[in-house]
Chain A
Amino acid sequence: MVDDALVKKLERITLQLRYDVVQMIGVGKAGHLGGSSSLAELMAVLYFYVMKIDSSNPTAAWRDYLLLSKGHAALIQYAALCELGFFPRSELHRVKSLEGLLQGHPDLSIPGIEAVTGSLGQGLSISLGIALACRLDQKKNHIYVVMGDGEQSEGQLWEAAMAASNFKVDNLTAFLDWNKVQATGATKDIFSVPDLGRKWASFGWEVFESPGHDIRSIIETIEKAKAVKGKPSIVILDTVKGKGFSFAEHNAAFHNGIMDQATYEQALKELDQKKRELNA
């Protein structure tokens, strides 16, 4: 049983991560709001509850790994790593600047980042390599990787899907952020990849589904997925792109959109409202 206090705590963290993302993007600058906010709950659950990590020792031999194959959602990962103390808050405010630590996409120069991603389609393969290395060393680390639904059209992902089941890796759990929107429109209009659950199952994976913004359900599903032995598992998260921001929800314009002053204030207002609800 997942207790209420834990859920409440993770909901508060989720909210904070969304605040961080909005503040990182700011006014007049492009930023991946849509695909970052659809992952806020998952990041809160993984980083603040499920994963074994230590911000004072980011490369500890026993750590769990989290890779964003959809590397463009780096902002939500940076927010989580910052809240955990991997780097100072001042870095969030100069993300993507020449002087700053935080690159536009995940980079190994950043504490807590495990791979270079951003060229879509490669993250699952890299995760597989890490999983195989940990297994060779008989280590207990678990590897988590997050893919996008638009990204599902990348052929390399399916090469990796076949390889992971060939090698029967069970220290790897993949997540599919099924938010139904990609860069330029709805996935059903741009390039439809239907029956994702059946596809992954037929590639030899154990498939789970969960609402993607329900903390309790995400935790319970991850527990089930991690219990699978002898094959890799994937959790398809039913999410909303731009979740939490009325102007951005389901809206491809905020895949990598720009907020003007009014939109920015609107975003903060909606988060403030959510905060009041949580505190009520």
Chain B
Amino acid sequence: MKKESLRKAYGQALVELGASNPDIVALEADLGKSTMSYLFKQAYPERFFEMGIAEQNMTSTAAGLALAGKIPFVSTFAVFASGRAYDQIRCSIAIAKANVKICGSSCGLSDFGDGKTHQSVEDANIIRSIPNMTVLNPVDAVETKQMVEAMVRYKGPVYIRINRNELPVITPEDQKFQIGKMYSVHDGKDAVIFATGAMVHNSISAAQELMQEGISVEVINVSTLKPLSKEELMRFARDKQAIVTAEEANRIGGMGDTIASLLFNDIRVPMEHVAIDDQFGTSAYTYEDLLTCYKLTKEDIAKAVKTALKHA
């Protein structure tokens, strides 16, 4: 399957949308070559603001731009976007419902070489807990582009997580992405895996292998991490014997926790969570090495499905 860069899709989408929408502006903190916001800089230098390595100011400045009618896209690494500028997101942006779009790039473990300080195991968890925030986690380059379009249409603050590595393209070009909607990406009837981001790909591989063993598993791409709607979850969980969640994030306060609490009263079937077990990242030569080390592979997901089904 062909792999494509989500970062590039992000930068290119900004350039495309910027052509017809003069209100779109971009802010950077000296990582534009990584986040790919530099593409926007090349296209529209007067609408690009290099803010220096000063993420807190960048974040509040974006709030000001939004309050005066612009649609600012703030890009930096996820760990800095969510952590260094947390209170700026909270006060300047979220309380104000300012129309700021934040790109947490190199999310999760995807910046494999740089290690603990640059990998974010908690960015989505943090931002999801802030009222008024919407959180998106695209599965591939095509969905990334669709999401950036949706972010511009939507009025209000949005955080998008972008993986640093190229990922297989599974989203149909004509998918009508809607914030809050979940997408079935592999059919099955025994169990369901609610997966997000890069973990969707590993979940599909797991489902394919399980099929060989006669186990039929549906895989859902939960690309909107917030709002997570119970109705959407029920649509896919209702007729299954077991549920597995898969995310490249700390299990504490993660998507799995939330799905469990949303479904608990209505669907009492065994549930397993594949997530990072309350640890920071670490350096590795490859992304795959890290996913293995943190037990986020297709084998780990397949094992979780079997465990859950065994208890069903």
Known A116-B91, A116-B92, A129-B66; contact A160-B61, beta-carbon cutoff 8 A? yes
In the complex, the answer to whether B60 meets A107 with C-beta atoms within 8 Å is: no
Known A116-B91, A167-B49; contact A125-B56, beta-carbon cutoff 8 A? yes
Return the CB mask of A148-161 against B: 1 if under 8 Å, else 0: 00000001100110
In the complex, the answer to whether A116 meets B64 with C-beta atoms within 8 Å is: no
Shortest Cβ distance from B69 into A: residue:
A133
B218 to chain A, nearest CB (A): 42
In the complex, the answer to whether A129 meets B63 with C-beta atoms within 8 Å is: yes
In the complex, the answer to whether A132 meets B57 with C-beta atoms within 8 Å is: no
13 contacting pairs across A/B (C-beta < 8 A) = A108-B97, A115-B64, A115-B96, A125-B92, A126-B92, A133-B68, A136-B25, A156-B56, A156-B57, A159-B52, A159-B57, A163-B51, A163-B61
CA distance A122 to B57 in the complex (A): 7
CB of B174 within 8 Å of the partner chain: no
In the complex, the answer to whether B61 meets A162 with C-beta atoms within 8 Å is: no
In the complex, the answer to whether B60 meets A129 with C-beta atoms within 8 Å is: yes
In the complex, the answer to whether B67 meets A126 with C-beta atoms within 8 Å is: yes
Q: In the complex, what residues of B have CB within 8 A of residue A133's CB?
A: 25, 64-65, 67-70
Q: Of residues 57 to 105 in B, which have CB atoms within 8 Å of A's CB atoms?
A: 57, 59-70, 72, 87-88, 90-92, 95-97
12 new A-B contacts, CB < 8 A, other than A108-B96, A136-B47, A136-B70, are A115-B63, A115-B64, A118-B91, A119-B91, A125-B57, A125-B92, A129-B60, A129-B68, A132-B64, A133-B65, A133-B70, A159-B54
Q: In the complex, what residues of B have CB within 8 A of residue A116's CB?
A: 91-92, 95-96
CA distance A63 to B87 in the complex (A): 28
| A107, A128, A134: the one within 8 Å of B61 (CB) | A128
Q: Of residues 21 to 36 in B, which have CB atoms within 8 Å of A's CB atoms?
A: 25
The prevalent SS among residues of A at the interface is helix
| A126, A137, A166: the one within 8 Å of B64 (CB) | A126
Q: In the complex, what residues of B have CB within 8 A of residue A129's CB?
A: 60-68, 72
Known A115-B96, A119-B91, A155-B56; contact A132-B61, beta-carbon cutoff 8 A? yes
Interface centre among A129, A137, A160, A166 (most CB of B within 10 A): A129
Shortest Cβ distance from B57 into A: residue:
A159
CA distance A122 to B55 in the complex (A): 12
B181 to chain A, nearest CB (A): 29
Q: How large is the interface on A (under 10, 10 to 19, 20 to 34, 35 or more residues)?
A: 20 to 34
CB of A182 within 8 Å of the partner chain: no
Number of A-B contacts (CB under 8 A): 101
Known A129-B66, A160-B61; contact A136-B46, beta-carbon cutoff 8 A? yes
Interface centre among B47, B70, B87, B95 (most CB of A within 10 A): B95
Shortest Cβ distance from B53 into A: residue:
A159
B25 to chain A, nearest CB (A): 7
CB of A131 within 8 Å of the partner chain: yes
In the complex, the answer to whether A125 meets B64 with C-beta atoms within 8 Å is: yes
CA distance A126 to B67 in the complex (A): 9
| B51, B52, B61, B70: the one within 8 Å of A126 (CB) | B61
Top 7 closest pairs, chain A to chain B, by CB: A129-B64, A125-B60, A133-B68, A159-B57, A159-B54, A126-B64, A129-B61
CA distance A118 to B62 in the complex (A): 17
In the complex, the answer to whether B65 meets A132 with C-beta atoms within 8 Å is: yes
Return the CB mask of A98-126 against B: 1 if under 8 Å, else 0: 00000000011000001111110110011
CB of A127 within 8 Å of the partner chain: yes
CA distance A137 to B68 in the complex (A): 10
CB of A259 within 8 Å of the partner chain: no
CA distance A129 to B63 in the complex (A): 7
Known A130-B67, A159-B54; contact A115-B92, beta-carbon cutoff 8 A? yes
B1 to chain A, nearest CB (A): 42
Q: In the complex, what residues of A have CB within 8 A of residue B64's CB?
A: 115, 125-133
CA distance A137 to B46 in the complex (A): 11
Q: In the complex, what residues of A have CB within 8 A of residue B91's CB?
A: 116-119, 122
In the complex, the answer to whether A126 meets B60 with C-beta atoms within 8 Å is: yes
Q: In the complex, what residues of A have CB within 8 A of residue B52's CB?
A: 159, 162-163, 166
CA distance A107 to B96 in the complex (A): 7
A242 to chain B, nearest CB (A): 27
In the complex, the answer to whether A163 meets B57 with C-beta atoms within 8 Å is: yes
Shortest Cβ distance from B72 into A: residue:
A129
Q: In the complex, what residues of A have CB within 8 A of residue B59's CB?
A: 125
Q: In the complex, what residues of A have CB within 8 A of residue B88's CB?
A: 122, 125, 156
In the complex, the answer to whether A132 meets B56 with C-beta atoms within 8 Å is: no
Q: In the complex, what residues of B have CB within 8 A of residue A127's CB?
A: 64
Q: Of residues 156 to 197 in A, which have CB atoms within 8 Å of B's CB atoms?
A: 156, 159-160, 162-163, 166-167
Q: In the complex, what residues of B have CB within 8 A of residue A107's CB?
A: 95
Q: In the complex, what residues of B have CB within 8 A of residue A136's CB?
A: 25, 46-47, 70
In the complex, the answer to whether A126 meets B63 with C-beta atoms within 8 Å is: yes
Q: In the complex, what residues of B have CB within 8 A of residue A130's CB?
A: 64-65, 67-68
A102 to chain B, nearest CB (A): 15
Q: In the complex, what residues of A have CB within 8 A of residue B46's CB?
A: 136
CA distance A63 to B65 in the complex (A): 15
A140 to chain B, nearest CB (A): 13
Q: Of residues 175 to 213 in B, which have CB atoms within 8 Å of A's CB atoms?
A: none
Q: In the complex, what residues of A have CB within 8 A of residue B66's CB?
A: 129
A173 to chain B, nearest CB (A): 15
A210 to chain B, nearest CB (A): 26
CA distance A117 to B72 in the complex (A): 19
Q: In the complex, what residues of B have CB within 8 A of residue A125's CB?
A: 56-57, 59-61, 63-64, 88, 92
